[in-house]
Structure 1
Amino acid sequence: MKALPRRTAVIVFLAFAFAYFFSAVLRAVTATLAPTLTQEFALSARDLGLLAGGFFFGFAATQLPLGTWLDRYGPRNVILSFVLIAVAGCLAFALAGSFWSLLAARVLCGVGVSACLMAPLTGFRRWLEPPAQLRANSWMLMTGSLGMVASTLPVQWLIPVIGWRVVFVLLAAGLAIASLVLVWRVPGWDVGHSPDGTPPSYAQVWRHPYFRRLAPLGFFNYGGFIAIQSLWAGPWLVRVTGVDALQAAQGLFGINLAMLATFWVWGLLNPVLARRGLGTDRLIAWGVPLSLLVLAAIVLAGGGAGALAWAAFCMASSFVSLAQPAVGMAFPSALAGRALSAYNLVIFAGVFVVQWGIGLLVDAFGALGLPVAEAFRAAMAVFLACNCAAYAWFLAARRDNRPHAP
């Protein structure tokens, strides 16, 4: 398919970004609501991790069929169907009266917004030239960071005024409006075919050496970075550094604002770096050790590591976000939906495991007699070890990415 004209491409990007903004608010709002929900429903760290992870469980569960549907029916038709599920999930969460009803609604929300990033990335693979794909991916993530900024202090300010339940009603309304914008601006889709004429399949994705090389990084490093940003940075600030809920929300606001700026800069730099021969693999190889060093410093500092430290960790972890568009470009466009959704499955399965796993570890170390702050530090040390192992696999399985033509 011929690349979209610049003006049309900008409009299509903005239409998708509007939906992804609300998706990101919904994804990250649990961190801000953690103190409120913990008090109202008497949640343990394990319950809180499961509640936040439930969103990503629902998100991950749809990724394989989602990739097939994106390749077959196109981004517009697929994302519209899913956004309506997200609207229902938001309303169910607003009406929930128990932990289990909260969890069920949270899973439904995850299912509903699971196409909000994969749909545009699949479209960009066919509609944009490779340098523009890298920029569009980074700026979609910037939009997500803007949504995560909105999920912190603005939500914290709204809770005493309208309550957390009305916040979810407003999210449902925003997603409904986003669906109308998508109908209005996103183009249709022609079914693609593999270069050799064979029907596209996930087997072609799973067997690809480059996909396998990046999978552990996607699971632990990328998934774990999202798990920290969207949940555990908040409880760390409250239970380890000792700040109150408002100060924690202010810290999360700063973290997400830093990520917004980071992804904006990546969007500016990616085409320039690509023209100079600095590919994804080299940037990841250089950047991931920075995140490992920062995380190690946080573990050592304990209560001395506040929002600034976690912002530094998230910013250093942003190098792994470059892998997502690189995976899409490593496959022909007819396989783009499957390749991107398969990698997204890896990422968000990692988010679910890390979010719930950290909660389980905190409770387990606490049961062994460690104080709360020390239990958090021990859990983060286990997370650091997993990240180091994934990076070692990436270095051992060296294979350059060779993008296909759009």
Structure 2
Amino acid sequence: MTHTLPRRGAVVVFLAFALAYFLSALVRAVTATLAPSLAQEFALQARDLGLLAGGYFLGFAAMQLPLGSWLDRHGPKKVSLGLLGVAVAGSLWFSVATGFSGLLAGRVLCGVGVSACLMAPLTGYRRWFQASAQMRANAWMLMTGSLGMVASTLPVQWVLPLTGWRPLFWGLALLIALSMAVIALWVPGWAGASGPRADGAVPGGYAMVWRHPYFRRLAPLGFFFYGGMLAMQTLWAGPWMQRVAGYTPLESAAGLFWINVSMLGVFWAWGMLSPWLLRKVGVDQLMAVGLPLCLLVLLGIIGAGPQAGSGAWALFCIACTCVSLSQPAVAMAFPPALAGRALSAYNLVIFAGVFVVQWGIGLAVDAFAALGLSTVPSFQAAMALYLSCSAMAYAWFLLRGRRDNALPSPAP
């Protein structure tokens, strides 16, 4: 059962969750900007940076299965408040770390703490928003996340010489605590007819989610395309610009800034256009047409090598944004009582992909260097491996669509 909020209430709820998601995106992406400082202070290698950035996503991914059940049972408000307290602790832990293990533990705790910042609102939107507004709300939440990533680039780079990176995380802990207060005041509880007990006919657990043919069809796209887009946006675009394209740290931060600004604009456009596009075309068709562009851009980046800078990576991320439509599509393929579990299971796939791609590219870069390749060919070879995996995921998406006799996309 659903309980649609009035327009004003929907806007208030959106803004409350948007603040928390803005901060979660800032925490997620800040390692790309801090990578030179952390590598110098702690003598980190490429695989260490990949594991450090991926540690956030490891903690994030580890929470997704229990998170889905908690969201369906207790609702977005209680779950968000409980987990954001862990994010406060993780930010403080990271700020006082004296070695790599301390940094990694802080990042894992941060990942655990912000693991509900997108799933909680999307679960609530499935019950509280009109169906036609869910795609738009999803796109605009991602736009808010892009704004957080913008804040993690040049603004952070400007602050670092003044304060250093440790006080930055003290401030983040304070802001996350503020977002908890906003959610506590503005977001409704999970009560009455809209609560999970009203849908008791739906069995517990994740079996219905894992077995669903549409979920299985989209899972490789979530792992490699969505996860890979986030892996590049939050880590590897920065080292590529510095170690392959020859950018200075400030130039790299500026490049990341404009990459995230472009993503912000694209997600705003998706929010404006997606209801109309989905009436005319459909989710599957949009992804089938849009994702090959992502593969072609990455092929061009690999071929261009040092000539591929921030503009090329911005184009790659923009080309990948159509895969974001898969997230609300998965939610709408299931009844509202399963929305939290469906979204969290798919998010697990995405962030497991981010972890694997981030760490895997670091391992591949170091491995190719150990085989005698110089820096630029090592990065190109690692990206070529990622490209081949993405191409296979796209082929699976097309072939499963045909095998399942073109299973219809979930209608808004």
TM over 0.5: yes
Structure-2 separation of matches of 1:390 and 1:155: 35
User: Which amino acid in the other structure matches residue 261 of structure 2?
Assistant: L
Q: Using the TM superposition, give the Cα deviation of residue 201 of structure 1 relative to its aligned residue in structure 2, in angstroms.
A: 2.3
1:368 aligns with 2:375: no
Q: Using the TM superposition, give the Cα deviation of residue 200 of structure 1 relative to its aligned residue in structure 2, in angstroms.
A: 3.0
Structure-1 separation of matches of 2:20 and 2:93: 19
Query: What residue number does 2:12 align with?
Result: 11
Structure-1 separation of matches of 2:409 and 2:302: 37
- Checking the alignment, whether the CA contact within 8 Å between 1:32 and 1:151 is kept in structure 2 is yes
Q: Secondary structure at the match of 2:196?
A: coil
Structure-2 separation of matches of 1:300 and 1:196: 54
Structure-2 separation of matches of 1:196 and 1:123: 18
**Structure 2 unaligned spans of 5+:** none
- Checking the alignment, whether the CA contact within 8 Å between 2:202 and 2:337 is kept in structure 1 is no
Structure-2 separation of matches of 1:155 and 1:93: 16
1:205 aligns with 2:209: yes
Structure-2 separation of matches of 1:214 and 1:208: 10
User: Which amino acid in the other structure matches residue 262 of structure 1?
Assistant: V
Q: Using the TM superposition, give the Cα deviation of residue 194 of structure 1 relative to its aligned residue in structure 2, in angstroms.
A: 8.4
Query: What residue number does 2:64 align with?
Result: 63
Q: Secondary structure at the match of 1:9?
A: helix
1:264 aligns with 2:271: no
Query: What residue number does 1:394 align with?
Result: 397
Query: What residue number does 1:253 align with?
Result: 257
- Structure 1 residues 317 and 7: alpha-carbon distance in aligned structure 2, compared to 1, 3 A threshold: same
Query: What residue number does 1:306 align with?
Result: 309
Q: Using the TM superposition, give the Cα deviation of residue 7 of structure 1 relative to its aligned residue in structure 2, in angstroms.
A: 1.0
1:3-402 paired onto structure 2 within 5 Å: 3-190=4-191, 191-192=195-196, 197-276=201-280, 278-398=281-401, 399-402=406-409
User: Which amino acid in the other structure matches residue 34 of structure 2?
Assistant: L
User: Which amino acid in the other structure matches residue 243 of structure 2?
Assistant: R
- Structure 1 residues 384 and 114: alpha-carbon distance in aligned structure 2, compared to 1, 3 A threshold: same
- Checking the alignment, whether the CA contact within 8 Å between 2:282 and 2:409 is kept in structure 1 is no
User: Which amino acid in the other structure matches residue 173 of structure 1?
Assistant: L
Q: Using the TM superposition, give the Cα deviation of residue 299 of structure 1 relative to its aligned residue in structure 2, in angstroms.
A: 0.4
Structure-2 separation of matches of 1:129 and 1:198: 22
Q: Using the TM superposition, give the Cα deviation of residue 207 of structure 1 relative to its aligned residue in structure 2, in angstroms.
A: 0.2
Q: Using the TM superposition, give the Cα deviation of residue 197 of structure 1 relative to its aligned residue in structure 2, in angstroms.
A: 1.6
Structure-2 separation of matches of 1:222 and 1:401: 21
Q: Secondary structure at the match of 2:44?
A: coil
Structure-2 separation of matches of 1:194 and 1:58: 32
Q: Using the TM superposition, give the Cα deviation of residue 43 of structure 1 relative to its aligned residue in structure 2, in angstroms.
A: 0.3
Structure-2 separation of matches of 1:247 and 1:198: 52
Q: Using the TM superposition, give the Cα deviation of residue 195 of structure 1 relative to its aligned residue in structure 2, in angstroms.
A: 6.5
Paired residues in the alignment total 404
Moved more, 197-206 or 176-185: 197-206
User: Which amino acid in the other structure matches residue 304 of structure 2?
Assistant: A
User: Which amino acid in the other structure matches residue 357 of structure 1?
Assistant: G
Structure-2 separation of matches of 1:93 and 1:306: 30
Structure-2 separation of matches of 1:391 and 1:403: 19
The sequence identity of aligned pairs, in percent, is 65
Q: Secondary structure at the match of 2:57?
A: helix
Q: Secondary structure at the match of 1:387?
A: helix
Structure-2 separation of matches of 1:400 and 1:281: 9
Structure-2 separation of matches of 1:178 and 1:196: 32
Structure-1 separation of matches of 2:408 and 2:82: 33
- Pairwise CA RMSD: 1.2
- Checking the alignment, whether the CA contact within 8 Å between 1:327 and 1:339 is kept in structure 2 is yes
From 395, 398, 403, give the equivalent of 2:410.
403
Structure-2 separation of matches of 1:166 and 1:198: 47
- Checking the alignment, whether the CA contact within 8 Å between 1:201 and 1:335 is kept in structure 2 is no
- Checking the alignment, whether the CA contact within 8 Å between 1:326 and 1:401 is kept in structure 2 is no
User: Which amino acid in the other structure matches residue 259 of structure 1?
Assistant: M
- Checking the alignment, whether the CA contact within 8 Å between 1:193 and 1:200 is kept in structure 2 is no
Q: Secondary structure at the match of 2:124?
A: helix
- Structure 1 residues 47 and 340: alpha-carbon distance in aligned structure 2, compared to 1, 3 A threshold: same
Q: Secondary structure at the match of 2:71?
A: helix
- Structure 1 residues 401 and 71: alpha-carbon distance in aligned structure 2, compared to 1, 3 A threshold: farther
Structure-1 separation of matches of 2:96 and 2:298: 38
**Structure 1 unaligned spans of 5+:** none
- Checking the alignment, whether the CA contact within 8 Å between 1:21 and 1:144 is kept in structure 2 is yes
Q: Using the TM superposition, give the Cα deviation of residue 383 of structure 1 relative to its aligned residue in structure 2, in angstroms.
A: 0.5
TM-score by length of 1: 0.98
